[in-house]
Amino acid sequence: MKLVEITAPDFDVDLDIRYASENNFTGTPVYGRSACFLNEEAADKLQAAIRLADHAGFRFLLFDGFRPVEAVQALWDHTPNPDYLSRPGSGSPHSRGAAIDLTLLDRDGTPLDMGTEFDAMTPRSHHGVTDISSDAQRNRALLLGIMSAAGWDFYMNEWWHYQLFRPRRYPTLSDQAAGTRMMSEKTDAGE
């Protein structure tokens, strides 16, 4: 399976690959390289979402895409929480290149208020919650509408996570098999 690197100018998005920095729930970089990859179907659907967002006056900020199986294991080892992370044995939609984590930016490049931060593993991160501001509820609904119209499915517990329908039709990939060089020689997230 071929993965597509999400880069400008082919994709008009901003990148903030959180697992390549300390700014993630582990407090440690998980990836050795800040890059975003998707499988070809997901990349096509991202392009459709980019066009819809642009027409509405928005852009995307991407937090994560393809997540090698090594990273799925490292995240699980750090925080084994099945409400927010895939169990390594079952395979994440991310490790299939079939999922993306993102938010909306306004025309000035400012992220819209979504009520919680990315990867806030709390019930307030779930779709449909009403204990966040009305602006955040509206922004989540806007993101959901754009992504759904572009052909994406969503995960109920994470406002930022979108995936292809039936992602298990794609194989899970290690960093080596994908050829992405995402992982550093030693992954410290689980230590």
pLDDT tens for each residue of 164-176: 999 999 999 999 9
Among 3.30.1380.10, 3.65.10.10, 3.40.50.300, 3.30.365.10, what is the CATH number of 3-178? 3.30.1380.10
pLDDT at residue number 19: 97
Banded pLDDT at 184 (limits 50, 70, 90): confident
Query: 126: Cβ–Cβ under 8 A, 6 or more apart, which residues?
Result: 156, 157, 158, 159
Banded pLDDT at 148 (limits 50, 70, 90): very high
Peptide bond into 9 cis (omega under 30): yes
Residue 189 pLDDT > 70 = no
Positions marked active-site: 158
d(CA 100, CA 65): 4
pLDDT at residue number 18: 98
Percent of all residues in the chain with a pLDDT value above 90, rounded to a whole number: 90
According to DSSP, residue 112 is labeled P
Contact criterion met (CB below 8 Å) for 17 and 62: yes
3-state secondary structure of 50: helix
pTM of the entire predicted model: 0.94
**Mean pLDDT throughout 118-139?**
97
Domain ranges of the chain: 3-178
Banded pLDDT at 188 (limits 50, 70, 90): very low
pLDDT at residue number 1: 86
d(CA 129, CA 100): 21
